[in-house]
Amino acid sequence: MNNTFLRYLTVSITLITRAYSQPAISSVSVPVSLLTKHVYALTDDSFRGRETGTTGQLKAAQYCVQSFRASHLGSVFRVDSAYGSFYQPYFLSYSTISLVKTERGTLPLTYKRYELAPSPVTKWDSSQVVASHNVAGLLIGTDLKQEVVVISAHYDHLGYVEGRIHPGADDNASGTASVLSIASVFDSLARQGIRSRRTILFALFSGEEKGLLGSRYFVHNSPIPVQQFAGNLNIDMVGRIDYKHRKKPEYCYLIAGPKDDQLRKLVSAANKRSVAIELDYEHDSMNDSKQYFYRSDQYNFHNFGVPAVFFTDGEHPDYHRPTDTADRIDYQILSKRATLVFQTAWLLANPDS
């Protein structure tokens, strides 16, 4: 028998066997158990609410990096001119007002105004500098590996306020858990020989609650040229149900830039082939009264011309309160929203798939 034919037959059988053994991507979901584990871990009292610049935030960063390592992601940030770190350190300066003079006298206040450091000297009472970190991991693509899909969330929260820990389960342990879990799903597929064509960058930012400062620093100091970013899928608060949808909880708000219609269509296609939840576009406008598009990290990507979409559940009574706890998350709907992001990422990372 011809040796060339034998080799062809062997390769064909291998490919057919692999095709039947591989899961249909549209049926892949993000596990509830994994999301639950991450949310409860990130909201533990030992993290002290994950305020940017605190030991609790650093502990959360270390937790996220540990998860990235477990998902076999590569490091992306430079250390001594070589790629070798999951951490991107940056500094913030804050100035504290101790009192404000008014016509009626003085009103005591405790307020901190944060900016990326170094910043110009101001006429505030005091100025201090704190260190923080963005964290990120990389899954290299195949033939389109120079093009990058960014899946992001912020992992910081408010910290310890007025004598109480604010755990930030929905805001934004839910988004952080989604990024970590989606990375795990991509890793599981990669170990079965199923890799995306484009590279996936999983990015977690601090400083969001201080004014989107972590993501602003990231896009201005990106380890990969921003021009190579095919799109940003940003996840911020995806574990609860707002009042509008209390009777039909399977929904997700989508908010994108005015020129990002192709990304909207991609999310819709991903939704139809997988979780089939309601996509709510009520706040999908730069002029929306709640100004959602300006309030999370996708805004900084948008400012650099990167197509960006924001996945969120809206707001609820526990927003920015100590009652935003892990036991109040709806993990079934969290799984569906995280799965929607995964499915969108897969389509974006595999054009013409």
Domains defined for the chain, CATH in brackets: 27-92+129-349 (3.40.630.10)
The pLDDT tens digits of the residues spanning 179-205 come to: 999 999 999 999 999 999 999 999 999
Q: What is the mean pLDDT of residues 241-270?
A: 97
Predicted confidence at residue 101, as pLDDT, reads 45
129, pLDDT greater than 90: no
Nearest Cα to 340, choosing from 255, 260, 261, 279? 279
Mean pLDDT over residues 29-50, rounded?
Answer: 99
The DSSP line for 217-262 is: HHHHT-SS-GGGEEEEEEE---S---GGGSSS--EEEEEE-TT-HH
Strands (E), the chain: 77-79, 82-85, 87-102, 105-116, 126-139, 144-154, 159-161, 164-166, 198-205, 229-235, 251-256, 278-280, 308-312
Average pLDDT over residues 294-319: 98
At 95 the pLDDT is 73
- In this prediction, residue 106 has a pLDDT band, given cuts at 50, 70 and 90, of very low
Better pLDDT: 341 or 117:
341
Pairing, β 229-235 against β 144-154:
parallel
Query: Measured in whole angstroms, how far is the alpha carbon of residue 114 from the centre of its chain?
Result: 22
**Mean pLDDT rounded to a whole number for the chain:** 89
pLDDT exceeds 80 at position 353: no
Q: Which pLDDT tens digit goes with each residue over 10-37?
A: 333 333 334 434 469 999 999 999 999 9
CB neighbours of residue 149 within 10 Å: 26
- pLDDT the model gives residue 98: 52
pLDDT tens-digit readout, 151-165: 999 999 999 999 999
Mean pLDDT for the stretch of residues 257-274: 97
Tokens of 29: 């979901």
Q: What pLDDT is recorded for position 257?
A: 94
What is the per-residue pLDDT for 203?
Answer: 99
The whole-model pTM stands at 0.88
